[in-house]
Structure 1
Amino acid sequence: ATLRIFPGALCDIKMVASGPTERKISELLPLSCTITGAPLDTRYYDWNYVRQTARGELQVLGWIYPFGNNTGSAPAFQGRVTITADTVKQKVSLQLHALTATDTATYFCA
Structure 2
Amino acid sequence: MTITITAFERSPDGGKGLARDTRVRWALEEVGQPYQVRLVSFAEMKAPDHLAIHPFGQIPTYEEGSLSLFETGSIVFHLAEQHAGLLPKDRDARARDHVDVCRT
**The two structures share one fold, judged by TM-score above 0.5:** no
The structure that is helix-richer by fraction is 2
TM-score, scaled to structure 2 = 0.29
Length-normalised TM-score, structure 1:
0.28
Higher share in strand: 1
